[in-house]
Structure 1
Amino acid sequence: MKKMVVAVLVAAVLSGSYFYFQGTSHAAQDKSPPASSSRVVSVTTGEVSSLAVAQSLSLVGKLNAEHAVNIAAEVSAKIKTIAVAVNSTVKKGQLLIQLDDDKAVAAYDEALAYRNDEKRKLTEFQRLLSRGAITKTEIDAQAANTSIANARLKAALANLNDHAIRAPFNGTVGFYDFSPGHMVAAGGELFNFDDLSSMRLDIEVPEQYISSLTVGINVTAKSQAWGDRTFTGKIQAIDSRVQSDSLNIKVRVVFENSDHALKPGMLLATELDFIPQQQAIIPVQALEYSGTKRYVYLVDPQQKVHRTLVALGERIDNNVVIKKGLKTGDRIVVQGLVNMRDGITIKDITPAVGVTS
């Protein structure tokens, strides 16, 4: 009998505990806050604006003369005359070095005499042919001999001319270290010869700037040798391919150098000023920072926000250029980012105006 009473009491206690905790659980659920998706946050918004942004790029390169050669001898001979001084400016075709040409003159005179004799024979053979005194075969053979004599004369003249080393273009004579009587070998370099009136600079531009590169763009440059003096050049040519190892493209810049202030081999620090392009721009305060990534909250027509990853360009005062992730006309949250979460509904408390500061 006692066991039955105890069992009834235990059942009653368990039943009461069940209803107590069930009631408490429902009460707790009734007091829980509403889901975040139902929250409405007041914010300031604005449209992504467009601005003509003038980009620039700083690069360093080494100068070369636009026309430059190493003057060398075509034949082996002794130097007879040095017709120019170091660092002198000469005209195209002007004599630079005269080599000893006595043997070349003799060879030319011999070839000239031989050619003249062969021409005389050909004229005589033609006269005899008209009389039927010789055959057509004989006159053809003499005509061939005359052609050979002409070729030998041309070769002798070319050899003679090679003993007179002349300027290939207008330019400036470089340093040399020899004197008359010095023996030079065929192909031996004598001195540098540069046209200093125009200088070229080859620079390597990252491929991301290819769309902004155009022949004729102004390029400014400075050299340590000339302090604050600025030199202005123009892009003359753009290479036909991007280098596979560096992903750069070569660009050639030309500088007018009438006063010869620039010299081959000098380093120039250049600044490329690209043509301004329209780009999306937003205030810096609209950005949310997360490690190395940057986000903005894009507002859709239903007033819901979407956390959007963006790629940034250069900063302009209190604004920043958006390279990727937004387009002009998009509406974004500008102020009120503290309470922002992806997908919540916002209440816009500002008029729809451009967001550029």
Structure 2
Amino acid sequence: MLIMIGVVLVIVTIIAGVKFAQISAMIAQAKQPLPAAVVTAMQVPFDDWQPTVTAVGSIKAVRGVDVTTEAGGIVRSIGFTPGQEVAAQALLVQLNADSDIALLHSLEATADLAAIVLKRDRAQLAVNAVSQAQVDTDNADLKAKLAAAEQQRALVAQKTIRAPFAGRIGITAVNPGQYLNPGDKIATLQTFDPIYIDFNVPQTQLEAIAVGQKVSVTADGLSNQTFTGRVSTIDTRFDPTTRNVTVEAGVANPGKNLVPGMFARAVVDSGAVLRYLTVPQTAVTYNPYGTTVFIALSSKNDKGEDVLTAQQTFIKTGPTRGDQVAILSGVKEGDLLITSGQMKLKNGSPVQIDNSAAPLNDAAPTPQEH
């Protein structure tokens, strides 16, 4: 029995010794300082923010029309080249008007004869050779014949199709010798400078839009080009389905690069310039219990060395633009804000700053392709 008790005591002593050694090693390891987490950081600056309203819209010509013909006829000649700039009243298409001109000359001759008859009868009326009724009939006959000639003159003018305003003429499918019916399309005529952009603004942003505000316009395919203009008109009613209102802005287009029908983006400057503490959006962590950031604070470790530690703090955010977000409260100018790598941090975690791969901080980013 004593031997058995001794063996059990020896086994318990061995087990206790092993556990003691393990626990001591764990305690020693726990007392070792944590390795510093590599993060990126920046000092929080103030920046100017221009409040804007951004929308997408379509380019529309200030003047644009499908040129058609009022009268039918065979095309005798075409006076333009598709794609060229034409002046107001420039000849576009001449229809065959020979028979109409001949009829006009006949009607003019008839009117001239009626004028002679009226003059002769007035002279005879002076000597009582004819009655006043005859002179009145001659006068009415002259007016009727002049009106018929004027009507025919207008018909002849309709056979000459001219540009109603200056602009760029589009592609045409009309050829000499082709017969055109009244209303047939000849080509599209558009004025390119200035030009309009129509875009929709939701009801909640209507107060930020006013006639005369500056508008910046960009379009796909026109890289690095920004066109400026002013809000010219706000529609008088909202769309009952979307609750949006159409806004029209006139845009200078001296190079005539903006073309009617293009998709474009409009940015309207609204209100005075504001100043906000501005940081990259990657620095902000959004949680159900609040919005937080980590600030790197300088402190001394057990050895008296200067180290940086992370301190989490709650903030209130404001508007966003591009890669940036405005901070309304929670940090102050000059704070060393951790902009990336904060997912592995907690309060008091040591950090090491390496900005070689800092996140983007662009107010107006563009897609990057590599």
What per-residue deviation string (whole Å, max 9, x for no partner) do you get for residues 131-165 of structure 1? 11111111111111111111111111100000100
TM-score, normalised with respect to structure 2: 0.62
Give, in whole Å, the separation in 2 of the partners of 1:153 and 1:291: 88
Partner of residue 255 from structure 2, selected from 251, 256, 259: 259
Identical counterparts, % of pairs: 22
Write the letter of the residue equivalent to 1:318.
Answer: I
Residue 61 (structure 1) shift: 1.0
Partner of residue 75 from structure 2, selected from 72, 79, 87: 79
Write the letter of the residue equivalent to 2:116.
Answer: R
Give the 5 Å matches for 1:103-118: 103-118=99-114
Give, in whole Å, the separation in 2 of the partners of 1:230 and 1:172: 22
Give, in whole Å, the separation in 2 of the partners of 1:182 and 1:103: 17
Give the 5 Å matches for 1:42-53: none
Residue 290 (structure 1) shift: 7.6
Give, in whole Å, the separation in 1 of the partners of 2:318 and 2:161: 57
Q: Residues 318 and 328 of structure 2 are in contact (CA less than 8 Å); yes or no, is this contact kept in structure 1?
A: no
Give, in whole Å, the separation in 1 of the partners of 2:252 and 2:107: 48
Equivalent in the alignment of 1:11: none
Equivalent in the alignment of 2:53: 57
Partner of residue 132 from structure 1, selected from 109, 128, 131: 128
Equivalent in the alignment of 1:23: none
Partner of residue 212 from structure 1, selected from 208, 222, 244: 208
Give, in whole Å, the separation in 2 of the partners of 1:260 and 1:84: 19
Equivalent in the alignment of 2:11: none
Give, in whole Å, the separation in 1 of the partners of 2:53 and 2:138: 71
What per-residue deviation string (whole Å, max 9, x for no partner) do you get for residues 54-95 of structure 1? 421211111121100001111110100011111111110110
Equivalent in the alignment of 1:147: 143
Give, in whole Å, the separation in 2 of the partners of 1:171 and 1:130: 59
Equivalent in the alignment of 1:43: none
Residue 313 (structure 1) shift: 6.5
What per-residue deviation string (whole Å, max 9, x for no partner) do you get for residues 236-286 of structure 1? 11112222222111111111212111111111111111123899xxxxxxx
Give the 5 Å matches for 1:246-285: 246-276=242-272
The answer to whether 1:200 aligns with 2:196 is yes
What per-residue deviation string (whole Å, max 9, x for no partner) do you get for residues 98-126 of structure 1? 11110111121111111111111111111
Give the 5 Å matches for 1:1-357: 54-276=50-272, 314=319, 317-319=326-328
Give, in whole Å, the separation in 1 of the partners of 2:274 and 2:147: 67
Q: Residues 91 and 161 of structure 2 are in contact (CA less than 8 Å); yes or no, is this contact kept in structure 1?
A: yes
DSSP 3-state at the match of 1:261 = coil
DSSP 3-state at the match of 2:192 = strand
DSSP 3-state at the match of 1:127 = helix
TM-score, normalised with respect to structure 1: 0.64
Give, in whole Å, the separation in 1 of the partners of 2:82 and 2:288: 65
Write the letter of the residue equivalent to 2:55.
Answer: L
Structure 2, unaligned runs of 5 or more: 1-47, 276-286, 291-316, 330-370
Residue 210 (structure 1) shift: 2.1
Equivalent in the alignment of 1:18: none
Q: Residues 227 and 253 of structure 2 are in contact (CA less than 8 Å); yes or no, is this contact kept in structure 1?
A: no
What per-residue deviation string (whole Å, max 9, x for no partner) do you get for residues 318-344 of structure 1? 217xxxxxxxxxxxxxxxxxxxxxxxx
Give, in whole Å, the separation in 2 of the partners of 1:154 and 1:182: 28
Write the letter of the residue equivalent to 1:224.
Answer: D
Q: Matched residue pairs, number?
A: 247
Give, in whole Å, the separation in 2 of the partners of 1:317 and 1:205: 23
DSSP 3-state at the match of 2:245 = strand
Give, in whole Å, the separation in 1 of the partners of 2:274 and 2:205: 15
Q: Residues 53 and 208 of structure 2 are in contact (CA less than 8 Å); yes or no, is this contact kept in structure 1?
A: no
Change in 2 beyond 3 A, CA 1:222/1:53: closer
Structure 1, unaligned runs of 5 or more: 1-51, 280-288, 293-311, 321-357
Give, in whole Å, the separation in 2 of the partners of 1:241 and 1:79: 45
- When the two chains are superposed, the root-mean-square deviation of aligned CA atoms in Å is 2.9
Give, in whole Å, the separation in 2 of the partners of 1:107 and 1:256: 49
